[in-house]
Structures are given as structure tokens and as C-alpha cells.
Chains A and B, each alone.
Chain A
Amino acid sequence: MEFNFAEHNGYMLASAVRGPDFAMEDSSKPYYDLHLELKHTFTARVRFFLGVSYGLCEIRDTPVIRDVHMATKYNAACKSESCPCISHYLYHILDALIILKETTEEHHAELSLMINLAYTMFGGDDEEIQYAFSELIKYGELWEANNEA
């Protein structure tokens, strides 16, 4: 078995394979399942790019995003007092996406949109985040339409 976590890229890619640790406690809040939507949008797709095939974890094998309220929930969660530590998770996701774009030949358009979304989530306003997410959703819809035809 070969693995190399000593190199920067190996470590940073591996660090993005686990989903977010935080989970919302209060199910009455509209963003209580934000962690699941972040996992669906980012982690599950990164796992696919990396070739993870472990059957019990979520892997998103197409660009299609089924949970389309992530940005709205993220914006609401960031305004709440009990906002969890999302930035640590996002930092690792962003680094892995950048490495994937730099080191692989495939999925560049989608990776660019995902990188833009992750960047925006660090410092953008609500509208910018919403826009970046909608662009990623549109990309998935276009992919689906092309593959249905």
C-alpha cells in the first residue's frame, strides 16, 4: 500500500475528505442541516474527484446539486450567535479544490465555480455567495440537460 502524506498536496487533499464536524443542534432553525448541504456541495464532490469509493460515505458523482438551499442557510447561520467553526472546514476544502484544479486535467470549469464559491463564502456578501452558488447549480443543470439529450 502506498501513500504519501508528507507532501503538501497529499496532505491537503486528504484533509478535505472528512465532512464537517459541526452539526446544528436546534432543528427549529432554518439552517439546522447546513452541515449536510455543505457536505453535499463540497466534500461529496471532492471525494468523487479523488476517487474515494467507500460505500458508506456520500459521494456526488455528477455536477448536479440536489440540495439547493445551502447558500441561503449559510448566510442565515453566519448571522446567528451559535455559528459553528465553518471557516476551518472551508479552508481545507478551498485548498483541495485549488490543488485539484492545478494538478488534474478534468473538471476545470466546475472546479473554477467551486473555488469561486468557497472564496466568496470567506469574504463575500450574501448576494455574492448566492450568485456564486447559483452559477454552480446552473452548471449542474446544464450538465444534466446535456446528458439527458
Chain B
Amino acid sequence: MIDFSDRNIYDIATALRGPDIKLFSPLNSSAKELFTARLRFLVGCNPFHSGFVRSLPRIPRCCQGFCRELRSLDVSDGLLVRGMTHYLHHLKSGFNALREIELEATPEVYEEIRLLLLLLSATLYFLGNGSMIKVEQTYKKLVEHVGEED
């Protein structure tokens, strides 16, 4: 049985489910593949049970439009922004917890986690005030570190 009384386990658990918002929007899919699917892999989820699991660090083709899709998000749609914010906050806590637990990971993976956390922070900042600069800068750094799928 998983020990859900542990704060780090709680934070990881709350980050495992994909977003409950407009399921078929491109941003929904790319955020899920970029963040959730990677976190699922890092904590050992099995794709047979948990759906998308991203085993490779490089950015898959389906996520490469993340910045463009985010920029085209209707920030006046309060329902969408609040839902996205809730989802991303839990992802941030989940990735933070990965840095606290004893994860069997290389320094490269820890750097990837750090960059994903920065990208999550930048995305939340965008949802708050509409500035994409940090999102684009951080996404570029992430791509430099992990590469992109052709």
C-alpha cells in the first residue's frame, strides 16, 4: 500500500492525473504529454494502467507546439484558466517532490526536472499576467538540454 500520509507521496499523487479541462484541446494534450506523462515515467507508472507515459526526455513532436498553443489560449476564459492553474500547481508540487525523494536518476534527469519546474512556473506566470517571455526562454533552455524529436 502506498503511504499517502507522506507529504511527498501526496504531492506526487496529486500530479499523476491529467487535467480535467477541455479534454481534446491541443494545449491540454501537449501539457499532459510534456509534464504529466514524464512525471508518471519518473515515478515508475506503467503505461498499461496509466495511459501516456513519456520514457524519453526529448520533447516529442506532439508537444512542440506548447508555446504557440499557450499563446493562443483565451485568457479571458476564466473556467479554463482556473482549471489549468490548479492542474499546473499540482504538477509543480509533484516535480518538487521528485527532488526531495530518493529518485534513482542521473544529474541530467535532475537538470531536466529543474527546467520542467521553471517552465511550469513560467506558464503559471503567463496565466496570471499574460507574459510569454519567460515561457519561451525556459522552453528553449529545456530543448537545448533534452533535444526535440524530429
Contacts and interface: CB of A to CB of B under 8 A. Distances in A.
Interface majority SS (helix, strand, loop, mixed), chain A:
loop
Given A6-B45, A6-B46, A13-B13, 12 more contacts: A2-B3, A8-B48, A11-B45, A12-B49, A14-B12, A14-B13, A14-B16, A15-B13, A15-B16, A50-B4, A52-B4, A88-B23
A18 interface: yes
B10 interface: yes
Contact of A11 (B10, B49, B101): B49
A23 B82 contact: yes
A13 B84 CA distance: 22
Interface of B: 2-10, 12-23, 40, 43-46, 48-50, 78-79, 82-84, 86-87, 90, 101-102
B13 A17 contact: yes
Given A11-B49, A11-B50, A47 B78 contact: no
A20 B16 contact: no
Contacts of B78: 25
A118 B2 CA distance: 24
Contacts of B101: 1
